[in-house]
Amino acid sequence: MSTQNIPEITTELKKDIVKVPPVIRQASGIKIFGKKIRSIIFTTDIAIIRNTDADAVIAVYPFTPHPAITKSIIEAADIPVFSGVGGGLTNGSRSAFMSLFAESQGSIGVVMNAPTPLETIRQVDTTVDIPIVSTVTSIYTPIEDKLKAGIAIINISAGKKTAETVQHFRNIYPDLPIIATGGPTDEDITSTIAAGANAITYTPPTNGQLFKEKMESYRKKELPHQ
């Protein structure tokens, strides 16, 4: 069946979902345990996670990883979850335990910060049977030893230089699965995919921004007819 003629079923109550940019469908995707993943929404907001058409969610946050947060997100999600397990301030056995917990709860992969020590990666690799994702922030991020230690996927987040960074690592590693931030425009996303990204992360509007739009629409409906 042509992708131009895919039947879509929704309901009145579920039509207001957070949709990822359609251009992401140009990416090849990464197949993990039989599931092809092209679009990955970057959020820990359970309400958004339950109302998106993204293929997966990457749940990382700037705090010490905690089992309660991981459990809540995985239980609420109806799409695969990549769970953050630290690697910077949180590392060693705690990251390994967090990874085991994430796997036992149903995570499809675990995400480790850029400064993660090699020994921590090795500990996690020998503890879980799901892919380890390592964050990459520039072309200078050393990944060769990390790949040998057990990293299966890199997640490139290099700001305005993301496409350039993707191209750099794609040239060195032709077959390495690469996730990358897509940027704010379709052109940015297209450039990142063309550079070699297999999957794209998308940062959605915040709950507050979405609520503001909803409230404005309510107010318009309350205006008297002219």
pLDDT value for 15: 79
**Distance from C-alpha of 82 to C-alpha of 132, rounded to nearest angstrom:** 9
Among the residues of the chain, which ranges form H helices? 46-49, 67-76, 93-105, 118-127, 144-149, 162-172, 186-195, 207-222
Low-confidence ranges of the chain (pLDDT < 70): 1-4, 222-226
**Distance from C-alpha of 85 to C-alpha of 158, rounded to nearest angstrom:** 20
Nearest to 30 by CA among 193, 203, 204: 193
Reading phi first (left if > 0) and then psi (alpha if -120 to 50, else beta), residue 78 is in alpha
pLDDT value for 3: 52
**Distance from C-alpha of 127 to C-alpha of 135, rounded to nearest angstrom:** 20
- Alpha carbon of 113 to those of 22, 84, 85, 128, 206: distances in Å? 28, 8, 8, 17, 23
Domains (range + CATH), the chain: 18-208 (3.20.20.70)
pLDDT value for 117: 93
Nearest to 204 by CA among 54, 22, 76: 54
pLDDT value for 203: 95
- Alpha carbon of 221 to those of 12, 121, 208: distances in Å? 18, 54, 20
Residue 133 and residue 154 in contact, taking contact as beta carbons nearer than 8 Å: yes
**Distance from C-alpha of 166 to C-alpha of 226, rounded to nearest angstrom:** 54
**204, amino acid identity:** P
* pTM for the full predicted model: 0.90
pLDDT value for 226: 46
Exposure string of 159-196, with b = 16+ CB inside 10 Å and e = fewer, is: eeebbebbbbbbeeeeebbbbbbbbeeeebbbbbbebb
Residue 91 and residue 114 in contact, taking contact as beta carbons nearer than 8 Å: no
**Distance from C-alpha of 80 to C-alpha of 10, rounded to nearest angstrom:** 21
pLDDT value for 1: 39
pLDDT value for 140: 95
Residue 12 and residue 27 in contact, taking contact as beta carbons nearer than 8 Å: no
**Distance from C-alpha of 97 to C-alpha of 164, rounded to nearest angstrom:** 35
**169, amino acid identity:** F
pLDDT value for 2: 47
